[in-house]
Structure 1
Amino acid sequence: MQAIHGVHFRDIQSNSIALLKNARVLFIMFDGATDVAVCENEIVYAHVVDEKAPRNVFVSIVNIENAHAEGVLAGIVYGMESVDEKGWHWKEKLIAMGSDGASVNLGKRNSVTKHLKDQIPHLVAMHCVSHRLELGALDAMKAKDAKVFLDLISVLLNLHKHYHYSPKALRELQLLAEAMEEKMIKPVNLQGTRWMPHLSSSLEVLLKQYCTFVAHFENTVEGKIGTVDVQSRAKNIPKHLKSYDLLHYMHFLKDVLSVLSELSLKFQEDRSGLPEALEALETACLQLVAQKQRPGEKLQKFIDAIDDNGKFLGVQLSKPTLTPDRLKERQNSLIDLVIDHINKRMGDIDSGNILKDMQVFYPVNLPEMEQEITVFGESEVTTLCEYYAPVLNR
């Protein structure tokens, strides 16, 4: 298996070698992970210009001795040098790097950034904008209605656990879905590298198969099927799934996550630069504000599906503990908090002097007056040329 893995890995890497070696400048991105063997790994990508268009290419995935700055840096160096065993001057091409906000990556005293900048003074370090987005959204959800949010997380985790570790329960769910003429979708694991897409996917599965899950848990309890743990989950999960307050929150949160997930994907596009990222952020904030004026798609469907007896898709829900006005106030407060926390996380995205100077190359910033265009960007371009002189003059 290791031999097969090695061949497959080299085949993927071979597609990147020419692009990396021919690139005039490099922007590397790296992230850590723990594999199924509980070994620390570091994956490295590079951002290059290919045929006048930006492109992300895979470089390497490397086992590292430890997750300290020295260990991570050694893994990055090994991965970059594996592109050509004869050696290539990748550090001379390196102008920027990106990672998550962990102190081991971006800390000021002892970090990967500090060690690399000691060798490459002109290096610009960036905190991944998608990671900033997720941190901002998570901060807001933990700060507002934390109990409801944690109840939802508990339901999703237990739902995945119930079917992931029991082939019998999954088979029963499949048979029940067929009997109800519905398509069975296996619950998604909430835990993963990217928290927000996992949460959105988990919610999507739960809402699509809501009736099937409720019916299966009720059958499990009535038939006294499974162990004590299975019976405990089968009683606890439906209790939450029949809560009007939690279901209202689920549908509302799904609408919010749809906007944020789309924003995250926009950030991750190869061609997405700072102007595109900032424009996408502004658009997303406006979409969230719109949800204060009227319910989002998922929430509106939920509201419309509640009958006069308080049933949702035939399932009797508990009575809401909040009035419609209080529910509206709660969701508006969360939207305001999400926007505020995300903007705080993104606030310094273009605050560095070098990043500000680079904005002269963005067409959106061109002045409208002809007189201003004649001298536009002269000082910024001069500053950039001086800053990157080691790269431009080599």
Structure 2
Amino acid sequence: MLSNLKYFDGAKPGLKRKTNPTAEDVKSKSKKYEQNRPERKLNEKWKIGRSWLVFSDNDTMKCSICISYFEGKVSDPSNLRGNNTFISGCTNRKISAVTDHENSKSHLKADSYYKSKSSSCEEVLHSPAGHALMSMKSAERHRLAYLFRNIHAVAKNNRPLTDYTWLCKVDKAKGLDLGDTYLNEKAALDFLSAISGTTTDKTLSILKEAPFFSFLMDGSTDIAGDEQESLYVRSAAKGRIIERFLCIGSPKSTCSADLQVFVMEALDGYGIDKGKLVGMGSDGASNMVGSKTGLATLLRQDVNPEMVNIHCLCHRLELSFRDVVKGSKLYDKLMTLLVGLHYFYKKQYKNKKGLLSAMDASSVKGVLPPRVTGTRWLPHLTQGITSLLKTFKAYEMHLSTASHENPKAEGFYKMLTDRNLITFAIFLKDTLDPLMKLSLRLQKDDITLADSLFWIDTTASLIDDSFARNSDQLTEVLETGAVAGVTLKGQRPEMAYRETMVKGFSEALRSRF
């Protein structure tokens, strides 16, 4: 039907169907356009937002950051220049050439490098990469914090480094994220060294700002039998007393000259100003406090002629106590009983088990006999006497049974039921109570010399007042001759030693201090 239209008047043929241009057509059209178009020019508007774009005198375009970044960083610059014409100079004066270069990998790499160098810490922190890095560092920081706490706890409690590994295993069993590294003893030692270094740096910083300082030194032998000297520093800042550990080392010998070399090398090694040294604290050994060749005398000669040497107050207190009890047969007998009971029940499990069974049978909430000899004699001795009286009924029950087969138990049983000895033990405990509290107070880090003298005078007054009164426990022994329901053997003691010892303690305190 449509084919019949050509027979009608006014009919026109349809439009020619459009076809896609061939590559030759496009090329021919583009060539024709290039021949007839006006000359291209570089547009200054292209530089807006592109600080790196540079127009050269010969009307070429260059990229300043690509030139700076790739200069000398490639072995064959010609190859790079062939791919990145903005280094040698781009002659294509089209905006498309600028955008293509702006999005190229080489330009983005150079741009990222210079942005990271010029960005502030705040900008880097809030960037996507910064967020990812901080998230990663935060997780790693938490892992390291757990590990540092573990090794710190091990060191503070005098435990071996092997405890660190199983402590980490326990933490992982609890669900803590510790990672899979730094879980061995070598890592623990590195952590411990880092903690030590940080603590030492803090100590040195305090000493650097302090106008003066003094040091305390004492020695002991290690498990190998070598002499080890511990050095502490003491100062004050803003009205607060500061006492910190500095170092531990092994001097050539314990003579005063070698100890002086040890102290001088320690102070010089840490860069501490020896001109600030004003005092020294030590025990009463002749190599420390000797008036002619003692360490304090040598330091006065070589460092500060006005340096003050303080004989350790706790050592003085112990010497005051020893001055009074020296030569007392009752004291020697009491120490024999306390020390003997400690080793009797510590070294033989059968004896220990028998004592625990006696505690259960007698409904006594007692404790095993502690060690009464040690560096802090007065607190140890008080603890030993307190333990003896608290567990007295169980001791008597077990020793009375064991004495039939064990001669040593028989000897302890006789001393335990001696009315005179137990009366002396109770009297000594009552007298030692203020001395023990004074000893513990003198060992505090923040105590001053003025505070020490005040507490010493107060303790002497308390001892004087104790002469006129008896404790309830002492009264019970004197009147009934029994302790914890156990009848003691012997007559009522006269306690002729009481006045002598009370006055002796008081006088010894005042004379020693």
Per the shorter chain, which TM-score range? 0.7 to 0.9
Select between 162-171 and 196-205 the one with higher mean Cα deviation: 162-171
Match of 1:163 in 2: 345
Could you tell me which amino acid in structure 2 is paired with residue 201 of structure 1? Q
Listed one character per residue, the Cα deviations across residues 67-119 of structure 1 (whole Å, up to 9, x for unaligned) are 2223433443454456x3xxx13412211001111101100222211221121
Partners of 2:498 and 2:268 lie apart in 1 by 51
Q: TM-score under structure 2 normalisation? A: 0.59
1:100 and 2:277 correspond:
no
How many equivalent pairs are there?
325
Residue of structure 2 aligned with 1:240, choices 394, 412, 415:
415
Partners of 1:80 and 1:233 lie apart in 2 by 53
Partners of 2:407 and 2:268 lie apart in 1 by 53
Matches within 5 A, 1:1-394: 8=192, 11=195, 13-14=199-200, 16-80=203-267, 84=270, 88-120=271-303, 121-143=305-327, 146-222=328-404, 224=405, 231-295=406-470, 297=471, 300-304=472-476, 308=480, 310-320=481-491, 322=493, 326-327=494-495, 329-346=496-513
Q: TM-score under structure 1 normalisation? A: 0.75
The unaligned stretches of length 5 or more in structure 1 are 225-230, 347-394
Partners of 1:218 and 1:7 lie apart in 2 by 54
Partners of 1:5 and 1:213 lie apart in 2 by 46
Q: Is the 8 A contact 1:141 1:338 kept in 2?
A: no
Partners of 1:200 and 1:5 lie apart in 2 by 39
Partners of 1:65 and 1:232 lie apart in 2 by 48
Identity %: 25
CA offset at residue 19 of structure 1?
A: 2.5
1:135 is paired with a residue whose SS is: helix
CA offset at residue 246 of structure 1?
A: 0.8
Q: Relative to 1, partners in 2 of residues 1:163 and 1:274: Cα closer, same or farther, differing over 3 Å? A: same
Listed one character per residue, the Cα deviations across residues 207-261 of structure 1 (whole Å, up to 9, x for unaligned) are 2111112222222223x2xxxxxx2321111111111111111111111111111
Partners of 1:21 and 1:125 lie apart in 2 by 22
2:403 is paired with a residue whose SS is: helix
Q: Relative to 1, partners in 2 of residues 1:181 and 1:321: Cα closer, same or farther, differing over 3 Å? A: closer
Partners of 1:27 and 1:100 lie apart in 2 by 15
Q: Is the 8 A contact 2:461 2:506 kept in 1?
A: no
Partners of 1:6 and 1:72 lie apart in 2 by 30
Could you tell me which amino acid in structure 2 is paired with residue 124 of structure 1? V
Q: Is the 8 A contact 1:159 1:187 kept in 2?
A: yes
Q: Is the 8 A contact 2:213 2:279 kept in 1?
A: yes
The unaligned stretches of length 5 or more in structure 2 are 1-159, 162-185
CA offset at residue 204 of structure 1?
A: 1.6
Q: Relative to 1, partners in 2 of residues 1:125 and 1:136: Cα closer, same or farther, differing over 3 Å? A: same
Look at both structures and tell me which one has the larger radius of gyration over its CA atoms. 2
2:247 is paired with a residue whose SS is: strand
Partners of 1:135 and 1:212 lie apart in 2 by 34
Q: Is the 8 A contact 2:427 2:474 kept in 1?
A: no
Q: Relative to 1, partners in 2 of residues 1:45 and 1:5: Cα closer, same or farther, differing over 3 Å? A: farther
2:502 is paired with a residue whose SS is: helix
Listed one character per residue, the Cα deviations across residues 271-310 of structure 1 (whole Å, up to 9, x for unaligned) are 4323222221221111111111111x4xx224226775x3
Could you tell me which amino acid in structure 2 is paired with residue 245 of structure 1? N
Q: Is the 8 A contact 2:279 2:308 kept in 1?
A: yes
CA offset at residue 161 of structure 1?
A: 1.4
Q: Is the 8 A contact 2:478 2:492 kept in 1?
A: no
1:293 is paired with a residue whose SS is: coil
Partners of 2:347 and 2:193 lie apart in 1 by 31
Structure with higher RCO (Cα < 8 A, 6+ apart): 1
Match of 1:382 in 2: none
Listed one character per residue, the Cα deviations across residues 12-62 of structure 1 (whole Å, up to 9, x for unaligned) are 543534323332211111111123333221112121113321122122222
